[in-house]
Chain A
């Protein structure tokens, strides 16, 4: 391999440092005895202990997890079906471009516009049935709404990649539709589906604006809790929580890398 120029190396290191310095700062603060400010007052595990005693945080973490998992499962199923439908059906040219535009809209639309429109829609639906009260149901539907587009886009690109040849060969050999789906398409699409699901899950975990507008009294999520705490200035447990979340993410990513390397070998 050609030796990289020291300036390039330096820039790369600087970028990594720039990206991770805030996270490191939060981790350091989480071990600080001081409640606020940057003055180092002593090392302590107190905030971590208090974290697990704090009902509100545990409730928010549970809600975030449930919301993420349920909305991801629903969105992945619908998104995959949508992708197959858009890509494999021989639409006319105009319909095709229309569908493409429709698919891209939830991706580019500003979060707050989406949240505002969801509030209006649920206001109308609430007249029909009280199941649409602000709360978990609303949030799941809201999250699924924007996740579908992301999943569909990822799966559709995977479908384009695998091409139609294998499917046509299978049809030539008298494969029924269901057999075709189960034994040919799904295994081929799986990396795309998994990638789409992971993207959807991340988006749901991260989402603040839509959750903020649709949450009910029982369904506060971690981003909402962190926002409320930071507004009041009470943050050491939040630092501990954030450090834990980052740790879990790192472990998951490293684990996923490790597993995929094993498969390759």
Chain B
């Protein structure tokens, strides 16, 4: 009897240790490989005394699903993309920001302050912005061939193995643009044609399947694939380390431009700490450190002087006018989101 009681006590104490939550904690839910997790957590702790705990996801839809399943009162900071903002607002999953706690909000570039998806920065502050394009190995694919999406979608021009991106809006956007349609099309016929294209492409012997952006980048870097659809920052981290063998390009049919934002879930357990984090990230030097690590473009005007010169000069990270003409934002499709979901389910299951 006594032995059993002892065992039960031991179990409960083990269990209690794991469930016990500390007070000065910030829980961040963010894309993988988006910041120097160790260093930034240590620096934030040194600056404010708050411990940072990080959980990662690979695409917006995963994050949305986790929030809806109960994550809305577990995480303090999430990093959604611009197009998913209307869904988050409609489902009341995020809370408005208290601008009094965010003096550094004035550092944000004008074009990110008053946007379509969040006028007046009521709910979000920008984190990074970037694009989606094609990363390729120069020893397998010629830079000229890579300038068009046909090297992935046209069976007569496919010459190397590739990964498609495991993200519904990004992959569908590329397919729609290759077919000459608007990437935010709500026309069921056009969506159907793009889905058919993706299904045929997926089943071709050169396609290795769907992988999240970071996974695709890792495979191209190691040589396990010749091309992948990836985010520009991930790609540029690898390309700048090995510019002779790796390249990144926005093909002529078009690419996607996006802005990632910091938001606070509606029932976040530590909203104060969350505001401190947002304000700290918007500090000019911290913002520059972040961008210099993940090689994405900073939305922080005051950080620009501290950004690496070769990043500022790089067209892939800070696109010039010519490239900007080819880049389009993803828009929320409202009711047509269902069409996209159905198309994606079909694509994944055939």
Contacts and interface: CB of A to CB of B under 8 A. Distances in A.
B70 A233 contact: no
A140 B15 CA distance: 10
B80 interface: no
6 nearest CB pairs, A to B: A36-B222, A233-B218, A233-B215, A134-B70, A217-B55, A232-B215
A137 B21 CA distance: 13
A42 B211 CA distance: 28
B70 A232 contact: no
A133 B72 CA distance: 10
B218 to A, nearest CB: 4
Given A36-B218, A219-B18, A133 B74 contact: yes
Given A217-B75, A231-B215, A232-B215, 10 more contacts: A35-B222, A36-B219, A66-B14, A123-B69, A134-B74, A136-B19, A217-B27, A217-B29, A219-B18, A232-B218
A69 B18 CA distance: 13
Contacts of B216: 233
A130 B222 contact: no
A136 B8 CA distance: 17
B346 to A, nearest CB: 20
Contacts of B73: 130, 133
A73 B13 CA distance: 14
Given A36-B219, A70-B11, A135 B19 contact: yes
A119 B69 CA distance: 7
Given A36-B222, A134-B69, A232 B74 contact: no
Interface string B210-226: 01101110110011100
Interface residues of B, number: 33
Interface in B218-236: 218-219, 222-224
A136 B33 CA distance: 26
B214 A233 contact: yes
Interface residues of A, number: 32
Interface of A: 34-37, 62-63, 66, 69-70, 73, 119, 122-123, 126, 130, 133-137, 140, 213, 216-220, 228, 231-234
Contacts of B211: 231, 233
Contact of A217 (B14, B32, B53): B53
Interface core residue of A34, A36, A216 (most chain B CB under 10 Å): A216
Contact of A137 (B14, B19, B56, B69): B19
Contacts of A135: 19, 74
A36 B224 contact: yes
Contacts of A220: 55
A82 B14 CA distance: 26
Contacts of B214: 232-233
B118 interface: no
B56 to A, nearest CB: 7
Nearest to A74: B11
Given A70-B11, A134-B69, A232-B214, A37 B74 contact: no
B206 to A, nearest CB: 18
11 contacts: A35-B222, A66-B14, A70-B11, A213-B69, A216-B70, A217-B29, A217-B53, A218-B18, A228-B58, A231-B58, A233-B222
Given A217-B53, A233-B215, A126 B32 contact: no
B15 A66 contact: yes
B47 interface: no
A231 B70 contact: no
